[in-house]
Amino acid sequence: MARTRNRGAKRTVGYASTVTSGLLVCFAVAVALLGYIRLKGDLHRMETELGNLDRTMARLKRDHERLHLDYETMVSSAGLDQRVRAMRLNLVTPGESARVVLPEPPRELPVPASGRGVERGWSRREELAMGRSERSPHGGTH
């Protein structure tokens, strides 16, 4: 009888390890399936969002083209002439003799790094306007 008990005990230990291994495998498969289902849901959501973005981009491209054509029509001379005639403003394009070209304004003169005017906040241009065009070597004016 001792032999029968030992054999039964070994079978119980072997059976428990097999059940535990099976449960661990089932748990691992369940976790993998849940992860797969979650990833499929994320993929579906991203595809939907991408489709929405594609539709939005196509709509914006159409709007851009329409606005670009409207702009080109507005700034073209033919488009301007047509709008002026439609508004009955009686405007005409000026001739070459009526156009005036203004020269570029002179650039600002650089402010000296040291000098009396700098401490007072005067620029070189203001000093020249006040008649302080020449400086003595000692920092004063003539």
- Verdict on whether the full-model pTM lies above 0.95: no
Smallest CA-to-CA distance from 25 within 15, 13, 33 is with: 33
Q: At 126, which helix (H) or strand (E)?
A: helix 124-129
Do residues 94 and 108 lie in contact, with contact meaning Cβ atoms separated by under 8 Å? no
Q: Are 110 and 124 in contact (CB under 8 A)?
A: yes
Q: pLDDT for 31-50, tens place per residue?
A: 999 999 999 999 999 999 99
Average pLDDT along the chain, 142 residues, taken 10 residues at a time: 52 74 95 97 97 98 96 86 85 80 79 56 66 54 50
The first and second tokens of residue 80, run together, are: 């301007």
